[in-house]
Structure 1
Amino acid sequence: MQPENVLSVTQLTREIREVLQGHIGTVWVEGEISNHRLQGSGHQYFTLKDAGSQLSCVMFRGAARSGVRLGDGVQVMVQGDISVYEPRGQYQMVVKQVQMKGQGGLQAKFEALKRKLYEEGFFDQEHKQSIPKYPRVVALVTSPTGAAIQDMLNILTRRAPWIHVLIFPVRVQGQGVEKETIRALEMLNAAAQHGLPVPDTIVIGRGGGSIEDLWAYNEETLARAIFASRIPIISAVGHEIDFTIADFVADLRAPTPSAAAELLAPDVTELKRHFDALSRRLTGQLTVQLDQHEKVLDFMRRGGLRTEPVRQLQSAEQEVDEAEYRLKDAVREQLRARMDEVSERQQVIAAHHPQVMLTEITHRLENQGQHLRQSLSHRLARLEDRVSSRADVLKNLGPESILARGFSYTTDVQGKVIKSAEEIRAGDLLVTRLQQGVVKSIAQP
């Protein structure tokens, strides 16, 4: 017995997909990433697992803008829709958003403020101040006891001992970090009023840490204070992989505090080579100038201008005339060469003029059309000969030729040819076809 309502594999798979999508919808799932694979298309495929289960996931290129770097072993929270990949009949999550586990709220707050300040133009390059190449006074806004300040001081004193370093101590972690940093920026921008050296640039720095440790540098109040500073600011917060709002607003972002110090302090050896090169170039220029003046003085000592000024002037005028003649001759030669070049290019242009090329193409098309017509005519003639020959064969071998020789054939009323007497039953109507006419008969028992 044939069962009713039999589904194909595709139909069943689609119904399962509709059930999953309709009853589960969009959900958040947390777990550890494994088997991560980034395709050339920009799509990312990975497995989200915990101690008991695993879930196949796909994040298409258009959704991969969360800023979270996916990789094996990363603990994440993902948001997406549960669906079914029909070719394999495998259920999976289509991921739309990714957050680091435990940092979702802070990351969302970070992205919101970043988007807000970007729209207000805080990150525009036109607002960035240039950092002095050879600063004389540098202010370090950082912890006086941290490793960051030691690294910066070591580099500055070794590479550029002439730089005056002004340390403004602030907390770099915990409550009130942003307030102390804002106060430091206000004081440094008014350094002259407080009897302090005016910094050429300010470095806000600290070592790396978690997003919670660095969160003070993501506060909007600090971002606005950095933007308002009249003194160029370098943000050197965290390690190379750490990014804060302060980095985007500052005039320059250094990947580490040490890198910021290296940017401000040119190497002494490099400067010495630079000054030596300048000294050699200046000495050479002075030597040339002195030689020229010595020649003039020597000429003056020989008394040429004093004793025979007219002859000296006439000789100089003659040299000028000769130079003028050579110049005119050179100009004429250049003009002839340019005219020859223009003539050659005109000939090339004339040969490639659209009208000339159109005429050539028209002739070529006419020749090709004539050749095509001849080929088609020959082809049709050959086909007509073949058709005529085969028509003669069909005429000789066809039913009419056979009937003309005295043969006939019998069919039933439906036109089926009777080949054996066993196919006929008593009372059947038979139709016998002759060359001329048809004979109908009824089969007898």
Structure 2
Amino acid sequence: MEFPQETASAPRPITVKQLVYRLRDVVGIAVGTQWVVGELSNVKYHTSGHIYFTLKEQGAEIFCAFFKNAAARCPLRLQEGMKVHVLGNATVYPDRGQLQLVIKEVRAAGMGDLQARFLELKEKLQREGLFDAERKKAIPAFPRSIGIVTSSTGAVIQDMRHVLERRAPWVKAYLLPVRVQGSGAEREIAAAIRAWSHAPHNGLPPVDVLIVGRGGGSIEDLWNFNEEIVARAIHECTVPVISAVGHDTDFTIADFVADLRAPTPTAAAELATPDGPEWLRKLGRMEQALHASARHSLLHARLKLDVYLRGRLLDADSLLAPYAQRLDGMEESLLVSSAFRIQQNSLLINQLEHKLQLSHPRHLNRERAQQLSALQSRLFHAATVRMTAFSSSLALLQARLEAHSPEQTLSRGYALVENEKRQLIRKTDQVHAGEKLKVRVFNGHFFVTADKHQ
């Protein structure tokens, strides 16, 4: 490999690896081992035993790696928002060219700003009773419809949709999309919760349970769910609310106020719906057990009856005949009842399959196509009516214009007189004796010479 010729203004090039290792050496010498104070964010415990986090303050942050051997000696459980002193070596991670601190020791330094705000609001709302268990509403076991407040993009809503379709395809789910991160998102979330609370008076369909949440992230990403406006909207909601914010280790104010906390949005969809396939299996097992119990009871009764009849006089048949007949009737009724129950369950399954087919995109597209065809017909008819009206108006205006045209006036015996300068003669004082004039009539023109004024 040939390098460009080295000059005073353009030194000899080096490779990326040489540059990164040179930066690592410079940073290590210039900073060395240093105590740094900051707030923890994006704390991740790796399966290898290493801990990775971001140490930050307002306007600055640095990535930190706390390797297994050093992390094992740390007595603290590192959490989002915790304020700490860390002892570490400043270096550059060559694979990414990333500046980072390799941590040797971590000591608690107090409470971070976000963590302090979190605990302050939590204590305030707890004193007001917003977390009390007796105020929480029960989640219905068999909801007919579910409202969802989350972002319309990302994997969260798709995962929830798959769970609902798998567990309870007959349940109707409605999404009211909101921003779940960034400035002002908390107001959108609170407004959506209040909107579901006032359904159907505001045009939204009524729901039996409401899921509010988003996927995982740092404490800053989840902070909108720690705002007081969201907590009070959940508390005042007339519909039972399931909070599903972040992962299992993430806790927000919304989790404490909600009627039920789910560790993840996917788990919320599972908690909000019954397991349809499992319930069908349970009903099948119960039906089989009922049939087995009935057959056993009938067989036992028949055996007792046979023993009794064999030990009595011959005319005992006439005495026991009504009871035997009644027993046969009971058996027949039981079989009819079981068949009817099976028929009902089959009908229910058929209804659920029919509802699922109606919600299929193919059926919905067919309905939309019919609606579009009807709208096209109405549009064509309206356009035809308008064009007819415009044609009539245009014909009327044309007739009026022709009635007032100069040609029509000339046809009635009038004439137009012009001088040699093509000026229209309206008064006698515009004409001079001997002047040649052009006279225009309906079918042509001719020239005359002026004599004198009169």
TM range (shorter): 0.3 to 0.5
Structure possessing the higher radius of gyration over alpha carbons: 1
TM-score scaled to structure 1, two decimals? 0.46
